[in-house]
Structure 1
Amino acid sequence: MQKVNSKIQVLDNGGVTTPAGFKAAAVSAGIKNGRKEKKDVAILYSEIPAVAAGVYTTNAVQAAPILVTKQSLEQSGLLQAVVVNSGNANACTGQQGLLDAQAMQELTAKALGIDPNQIGVASTGVIGVLLPMTRIGAGIEEAANRLSPDGGADFAEAIMTTDLVKKEIAVSAEIDGKTVTIAGAAKGSGMIHPNMATMLGFITTDAKVEQAALQAALKQVTNKTFNRITVDGDTSTNDMVLLLANGMAGNDLLTPSHQDWPIFLDALEYVALHLAKAIARDGEGATRLIVAQVTGAQTEKDAEQAAKTIVGSSLVKTAVFGADANWGRLMMAIGRSGAYVDPNKVDIWIGDVQVAAEGMGLSYDEAAATRELEKDPVIFKVNLNVGSCSATAYGCDLTYEYVKINGSYRT
């Protein structure tokens, strides 16, 4: 157990089933090629209907599961389960894809004996291929029979595609004298860009939270975490983060006027940021996480734009991969970011080595700068010196392996 601060603690080996009342399971259904090589169908279940919130891709092309889940959440603001498959995105599949996503809801509802409109659906994988519904149905039935409070790790594994590592976390916080737990699992490795990021994220909590407040909190936290990561500049058709709060911790209803609301918000942001950074670090073929810290901007939006552009620049990313202290690439990225910049005021550091001041290069220790670029994470610090606002964004280096992975994604 690790303390974040006096109010929040990170729990050892925590995942989406750590909060009270949550269960999960995952099975191998052979979705991608008929061979049961990995877990690819998973269910997350709450013992009672949970207040829920969602944020979704900003891509104009949205997969059928996104449309179905949005509609369900809009009806009641409640979810009791989420069914997920990997290996097939069920995107660009027309009317049949929509019917298949609805069938996933209905099959899960029948297996669990709950309302199909309180079931979220998520899919990830290859675009433009119809779901193998016979395998999906068998997988759903098997997963429903295996639900367990110990199933969180299997759930986190089943949602992976090209991910190299599972991404999960749980934290606890004291609210109203009660121990409240917030946990999460996410997948994401390629097709990642800060427009809801390209990923699936599932966050659970046993806190009791007003639905409107929960939705506002998720949106606020997403903008500071999942929307500040990038791997390759591409925004997916299937991005979604769902947050379920079942209230089983026994705290009083949380709203922004509650005295412990800031604690809940901080804990939620910690979980989301941990998952977001894990996605950026696990970028396809990546070897190092990149952190861009921008200060001295006129507005927070300017700071965010500059930071995002730095971590999203292919030239910056390849310079990190090669450990090349080419600070001019950062200057280029800042200048095209859309943020207000006075080029004669910009200061730049690679780690602890200052390489530019007032927009011009300094005489610096090249070897020391190279050592900073060989660290993980690589930290770039930029002071625009035109205001008092700041923001941080996260990305990864761009390697030969990225091309290899994406050149053969379907095979």
Structure 2
Amino acid sequence: MSVIFPSRVGYYLWGGPGTIRMINLKYFSPPVDTASFLRAYDRDNLMRIKEVFGVTDMWVTYSWGFSEEREEEDYAFLADRLQNFRDASIRVHAYVQGPNLVFEDFKDRDWFCRDEYGQFIPYHRGRKLVCVNHPEFQEFLEERVRLACLLGIDGVYVDNVFMGQMGIPGMKNRSSSFIGCACDSCQNAFGIPIPRRVRKWCNRSKEYMEFRAESLRQFIERLAATAHVYGKEFGTNSLDPRVNMHHVYGTDLGYLHTCQDYLLFESLTLPCRTGSRGNAHLQLLRCQHNLYKPMFALSYKRGIGFDAEFDQQDLDALYSEAMECGYYPCVKGTEYVTGGIWHNLDPTKFSLPHIHSFTAPPLAHPRPESRIGHIVIRVCGRWLNTVTTWYWEIQWVRRLFSWGERMFLG
């Protein structure tokens, strides 16, 4: 059986010692199939991925946000295997963690975001959000992008680019919680007191939301310019576009499309044959915003740490919908948890995708208003980031609430 693949097919594949180190940090040292991460960029594995999935572009581990001293082995791990990608005719996009860092490695820096009460804003266990307005951090991340370019890769991809505390989806038209960052760098740049609550009727709130968006635009454009100087492709994780991106992340598809070489959307929308879930909304998005650059969809079922290894039907549905809806599929090749063990996708278990007729879900597929968001704001109030930190950092607290997560994610 032969398959006519799309002209571009993406593949997310984290590998090497840095990925193992990050999983141990984020998830309290869970069982990990270390071999699957250490052989990720071996020639035989890449050749099989190319043969079965038709992959043209691969997003690979470069920097997870540890200190340079700890990441030296990660840079070397990738550099030593770049020829394997060339042999397989796969373009390499180096993954660089965006504005969040491993706190222990950078705790002496004043780069970290603060909420309206001066508290750090957690990103995950052991990691906190960093301010895109801090001049030293801007230089730091720009240098990481530059060094990645010098490695000999084809592109640089910066993940999780948003500013401080995210807005809650579905609350754009209502009084919301604190959004963004209130560190000294932001306060000095904004010039007037940063609002503690974002209210739709408040002019200062509107001015601040525009300031937040402009801060991110300048930050992303600076990183893109650095990559382009070296002739590399540049992209960021544009996350889930079904929400109001300006309100939730502080980004805007217009400037992302202008300064990046492609768009990559990551969301819980792995297509299924029933049509109850999928990425057909990207068709509407392309038309509404006149998007003509390559558009990749990276799809999960329930999210990182919740998805068991996908099967052949899952991949068939992804390729079928992509062909139907006109986007490029990006296969989730990593961060599966099957039988309690973290591992990468095993390409030897798959055959060529079967492209079939596909029932796409409705084009307009916005995220619903978050009633949970209202409850969280009312209950937690000023303790929101304290409670969130407990959740990430204390294992029994996370286990206590894990049943709710699994129910919520289906």
Please identify which structure carries the higher helix content.
2
- Structure 2-normalised TM-score? 0.25
Please identify which structure carries the higher strand content.
1
Greater gyration radius: 1
- Structure 1-normalised TM-score? 0.25
